[in-house]
Amino acid sequence: MLKPEIKSEEHVKAFVDGFYNLVNEDELLSPIFNNFAKVNWEAHMPTMYGFWNKILLGTGSYTGSPFDKHIPLPIEQKHFDRWIALFEINMDQIFQGELAEEAKLRARSIGGIFAAKHKFLKEQKEQ
């Protein structure tokens, strides 16, 4: 079956919703989001829609510094690896095409940068 390409904010909402459904079902990531960070999903999801709309469609209203919110989280490389894997699994299940590939590339980049920064800050704290 041919999957659609990402062309609208509704498509972005669909992949963001699907991704965070997987996160909430994941035994490694769900406790970080729900027990430690206590994410308010009702507030968080519109922020994520705006973030990905801006990146992929140029229409989002997102502004901010997403890394700062991740600094206090008890996360390691395995958490970033799982986040990226779930993102790609979700995307591959529902969309194809240039923007789907761009989203996966951006997610890998974000995950890699966040992991490196998080590792650096942890090492600095231990010194």
Q: Does residue 12 belong to any structural domain of this protein?
A: no
Range of the domain at 35: 26-62+74-126
Looking at residue 118, what is its pLDDT?
A: 81
Question: CB of 51 within 8 A of CB of 87?
Answer: no
At residue 37, the 3 state secondary structure works out as: coil
| Number of domains into which the chain is organized | 1
Q: Does residue 54 belong to any structural domain of this protein?
A: yes
Q: Does residue 13 belong to any structural domain of this protein?
A: no
Least confident of 18-32, 34-48, 50-64, 80-94: 50-64
Q: Does residue 53 belong to any structural domain of this protein?
A: yes
CATH number, domain at 112? 1.10.490.10
Q: Does residue 42 belong to any structural domain of this protein?
A: yes
> Across all residues in the chain, what is the average pLDDT?
91
